[in-house]
Amino acid sequence: MELMQSGRNTSVSTGLTTTSTLRVADLPSFLPSASHNCLASSPIDHVQWYSWWVHDQVQREPKELFSSLPGYDPKSNQHYTDPFTALWQETSRYLAAKESVSILEIVTHLVEEGLLQSQSGAEALVSAKNLVFAVIGWQTMLYKPDMHSCPAGQLAIADEMDGHQGQAHMCLKQNGSACKRHIHELLLGFGVLLPPRNFHAPASPEDNAAFNELKTAAPATFNAHLLTSIGGIDIKWTDSLACHLEFDKNSNTLFLYRYPSFCVAHLPPSKSTTPHKTVIHACAAPDTAGTKQWATADEVTQMLREIILSYRLLFGQNKAARQRFRKLRPFDDIPAEGTDNLLSSLCGRKHCQSTFDIPERETYDLPRDFPVLRSRLAILLRHLSNRKPRTWKELWQDKRDSASWLTFWAVLIIGGMGIILAFLQVVLQIVQIVQRD
């Protein structure tokens, strides 16, 4: 299939037939309200990648996933049909309008609206549930569905962290019967994709101590440059928002989400007094649920803000870290239309003008500024604090303790100069003795 863009409209050719034109605004539910949130003069500039991304995700799934759509024809291999667009929009609308629904409820509603085929039989129901599960994953970017790795009766998400089972992805598969549960309960079966404030999963004694003891982080002493050079960490970019700042200690890999404009577009207007609910907010736990393992709607908004701010902490507020970002090339493996330009603005520029209220600081207080991502940052802080420079280059780059750094190099330089001068003096004396003889 070939994706062709013209202005704000996207025409999708399936190779056999060409479907109707699909507008970018037809896909994600958040686009119509994004005009007051994004950084560019034209907000569509920052979310233009989303149409390509969804198209790419659809391409990766088996065509049988769409068999429950009205008018489905496996021979034509049409995915972006009008029924799919209608189902996409109604799924997001229904999720945002209701509180704590299940996938089974959504399927029932879509059948009643004529957006899914009302065929009887277990196989037809499984196909419909799988499609809705996939659409919710694409709309929230909390996970990527993986229909290739399991039987039709199971739900699976893609392994975004190369086998690492962290806080976000504790399990990659679960039984399809979970579709009867509320959406936040179903997603919790995979892991804590939306953590609440001060969430701290059971961990090693060292991680527990780091969570309780490490309270601050400063861009000058904690940034991507130091993490990669001194900490020996490799950075891998991921498409799943839930995996942001997950750290695999075994491989020394830090996973970072590469589409920050998705977070920006889901933030409520800064001066808005009306309740703000998008599809990702619809996946939050109700305030009355009383769960300590899943975020409420307000905590979802807080998490989105922290993700945006974390790019400034790790990259944007330190010169060496900005230079490191330019070498990372987060979009090397995808075409230009799948690039999020906001990532370069947040990570590669010293000053990033924004219209959303996310203040930068010289020193961040983790409980105040990063209450949701606090545990993940604390683990990274502990990792970096335990690493010592092993080469002269690392010694030069390690400025975490500026006083010690200045003292060390001052002593080294002054002492080195003294040794050189003493050596020269000895040489001169030898020359003088030789000349006398």
Cα 272 off chain centre by: 26
Q: What's the average model confidence in pLDDT over 36-54?
A: 57
Cα 437 off chain centre by: 78
Task: Report the pLDDT value the prediction gives residue 71, as an integer from 0 to 100.
Answer: 81
The C-alpha atoms of residue 259 and residue 365 are separated, in whole angstroms, by: 25
The C-alpha atoms of residue 262 and residue 197 are separated, in whole angstroms, by: 21
**255 SS3 class:** strand
What are the DSSP calls for 139-191, one per residue? Answer: HH-S--B-TTSS-TTEEEB--TTTT---SS-S-SEEEGGGGGSBHHHHHHTT-
pLDDT surpassing 90 at residue 38 = no
Task: Report the pLDDT value the prediction gives residue 250, as an integer from 0 to 100.
Answer: 93
Q: What's the average model confidence in pLDDT over 158-165?
A: 92
| Chain length of the chain | 437
pLDDT surpassing 60 at residue 317 = yes
pTM of the model: 0.81
Q: pLDDT digit string (tens) for 232-249?
A: 999 999 999 999 999 999
The mean pLDDT value of the chain amounts to 82
- Name the pLDDT band for 29 (thresholds 50, 70, 90): very low
259 vs 45 pLDDT, higher one: 259
Q: Which of 12-16, 122-126, 344-348 has the highest mean pLDDT?
A: 344-348
Q: pLDDT digit string (tens) for 383-435?
A: 998 876 666 565 555 555 565 556 655 676 787 787 888 788 888 888 877 77
- Name the pLDDT band for 12 (thresholds 50, 70, 90): very low
The C-alpha atoms of residue 346 and residue 40 are separated, in whole angstroms, by: 12
Q: pLDDT digit string (tens) for 94-152?
A: 998 988 899 999 999 999 999 998 777 778 889 999 999 999 999 999 999 998 888 88
Going from the C-alpha of 40 to that of each of 44, 313, 340, the distances in angstroms are 8, 21, 12
Token pair of 321 as six digits: 């870290």
Residues 6+ positions from 81 with CB-CB distance below 8 Å: 19, 20, 69, 71
**From its phi and psi, is residue 48 left (phi > 0), alpha (psi between -120 and 50) or beta?**
alpha
Amino acid at 288: T
The C-alpha atoms of residue 68 and residue 150 are separated, in whole angstroms, by: 19
pLDDT surpassing 70 at residue 15 = no
Q: How would you classify the pairing of strands 234-238 and 253-257?
A: parallel
Task: Report the pLDDT value the prediction gives residue 400, as an integer from 0 to 100.
Answer: 57
Going from the C-alpha of 310 to that of each of 136, 347, 399, the distances in angstroms are 25, 9, 20
The C-alpha atoms of residue 372 and residue 380 are separated, in whole angstroms, by: 15
The H-assigned helical ranges of 331-385 are 341-348, 366-369, 374-385
Q: What are phi and psi of 365, to 5 degrees?
A: -90, 115
Q: What's the average model confidence in pLDDT over 343-348?
A: 94
**331 SS3 class:** coil
